[in-house]
Every structure is written in structure tokens, then in C-alpha cells.
Structure 1
Amino acid sequence: MPDRPARVRVVLAEVGRPRTADRARTDLAEQNQVGEALLRGLIRAQFALAVRLAVVVVVGLGGLPLLFAIAPSVTTVKVLGVNLPWLLLGVGSFPFLVAVGWAYVHLAERNDQDFTALVRRPER
């Protein structure tokens, strides 16, 4: 009697679909429709964050000349011997821009972490 190959037992779970996290990573790597939709969502979130913070900067710094035009008496106020407009535009703008930059980095990293959690989340 010829030698038969050993029987191999195939279990449905072994040949079924990959786990959800693996499937999401595969979708991203293969750049199929699901992966593209996930990436578009991340890009859209990052773009919306950038636009919101750009509006904050434009209103915050762009509003100062408008304030000086509407209320000219503000331009004559002196703090520590320096005119208030010089302090606001020359000194106050830097901490403001640093704070907006820090907020952007912090919120962009949170968007990335949310995206990573979404990709790794198991299917319910």
C-alpha cells in the first residue's frame, strides 16, 4: 500500500477573514476604498484643525489693527513706558503664536492617536 500523506485538518477560523485590526491595516497598505476612506478622514480632520487655528491667529493678530482703528485712545496707553500697541504686537504676539503652535501639535497628535485607535480597534 502506497504511503499516504498525513491528513491535515482545516479549521474554518484559520481560513476565514483576517482579524479586524489586521484587515484595517491591510486596507491601508493596499490602498483600497476602505483604506482611502480612512486616510481621507484623517487628512480632513488635520486640515480642519489647521483651518480653525489659522482663523484663531487671523482673528487674534488681525483684530489688533482693527482695535487700534476703532479705539484710537488705546494707542496712547503706556505700560512700563512703552505704548500698548508696541507691547501687543512686538511682545504679546510671540507667546500667542507659541501657544497656538503648541495647541496645533497637541491636537494633531491626538488626531493621529484617534486614527491609530480606530485602525487597531476590534470589530464589535
Structure 2
Amino acid sequence: MAEEQQPSQPRREIVTGVPRGARRRPPAHTPARSEISEQTTLGATYVRALMRTQLRSALAALAGLAALMGLLPLAFLLPRSASGALVWVALGLVVYPVMWLVARWYVTRAERNEADFTGLVTDPSDPPGPPTPT
């Protein structure tokens, strides 16, 4: 007896494609970087906000230094016998470290402002690194 031939089943094939997470979708909005480079009203608003935060940080640092320098002459109002050593201690040991701390705070704050701005402006789907020229 001849064996019955069963109808051949279709061969299974695996179809592969780009994983869903790796697909590049167009951004839902225009990236802020293009708004800035095209000098639109929104781009000007972004830049103005960065400048405002940088100015606020600079004015806070200036106010701290002005308060420090404004209070320094009070050391000269003390009686002459106590003021000699106190003035040198104030000038040599207090003023410069405080000025250094205020300057360090300002630089850190300015870098944080710029990093926040960069995070706002860059498109999350762009790879990290320097921007590519267009």
C-alpha cells in the first residue's frame, strides 16, 4: 500500500525588522534648536530665559561680594588696639576664601544653567555628543 501523502504545510519563516524601540520617529514638535537657529519668537524666548537665569546668578554673586566688602569697613570702626590684628585676619583669612567660594558657586551655577538649557534644546532622539552641523 502506498503511504498517504499529507498535504504539505507551508514552511514557517521568521520575519525580522527594526525593533520598535530603535525606530526613529519624527519629533512631535520642532526641536528647540531649530527654533533658535531660525530666530523665531520661541527661540528668542528660550535664549532670553537663559540670559535671565545667568543674569540672576551673576547679580546674586555680586550682591554677596558687595555685602562682604560693604561689611569689611566695620572692622576699622573698632577701637585701635583691637582692630590691628582683626583687620589683617579679616583681610587675609576671611575675605579671599569667601570670595573664592562665591566665585566657585557662580561658576557651578552658570554651568548648571547651561546644562539645563542644553537639555531643553536638544532632541531626546539625537545621540549624545557634539551637535552635527546642518
Q: TM-score, normalised by structure 1?
A: 0.68
Q: How does 1:1-124 map to 2 (within 5 A)?
A: 19=27, 23-69=31-77, 72-73=78-79, 76-77=81-82, 83-120=85-122
Identity between Structure 1 and Structure 2 (%) = 34
Runs of 4+ in 1 over 2 A off after TM superposition: 20-23, 66-69, 75-78
Q: CA deviation at 1:118?
A: 1.5
Distance (whole Å) between structure 2 residues aligned to residue 100 and residue 116 of structure 1: 24
Question: Structure 1 residues 24, 68: closer, same or farther in 2, change over 3 A?
Answer: same
Question: Structure 1 residues 91, 19: closer, same or farther in 2, change over 3 A?
Answer: same
Distance (whole Å) between structure 2 residues aligned to residue 103 and residue 77 of structure 1: 33
Distance (whole Å) between structure 1 residues aligned to residue 101 and residue 28 of structure 2: 38
Q: Residue by residue, what CA displacement relative to the aligned partner does 1:58-114 show, whole Å, maximum 9, x if unpaired?
A: 101211213543xx14x6437xxx611112123421111111111110000000111
Letter in 2 for 1:99: L
Which runs of 5 or more residues in structure 2 are unaligned? 1-25, 125-134
Q: Between Structure 1 and Structure 2, whose CA radius of gyration is higher?
A: 2
Distance (whole Å) between structure 1 residues aligned to residue 81 and residue 102 of structure 2: 28
RMSD (Å) for aligned C-alpha atoms = 2.3
Which runs of 5 or more residues in structure 1 are unaligned? 1-17
| Matched position secondary structure for 2:58 | helix
Q: Residue by residue, what CA displacement relative to the aligned partner does 1:4-23 show, whole Å, maximum 9, x if unpaired?
A: xxxxxxxxxxxxxx525752
Q: CA deviation at 1:45?
A: 0.3
Q: Which has the higher contact order (CA 8 A, sep 6+)?
A: 1
Q: Residue by residue, what CA displacement relative to the aligned partner does 1:35-64 show, whole Å, maximum 9, x if unpaired?
A: 100000000000010001100001012112
Q: Please say if residues 58 and 106 of structure 2, whose CA atoms lie closer than 8 Å, have aligned partners that are also in contact.
A: yes
Distance (whole Å) between structure 2 residues aligned to residue 98 and residue 20 of structure 1: 45
Alignment correspondent of 2:17: none
Please state which structure has a larger fraction of its residues in helix: 1
Q: CA deviation at 1:27?
A: 0.4
| Matched position secondary structure for 1:77 | helix
Count of matched residue positions in the alignment of Structure 1 and Structure 2: 99
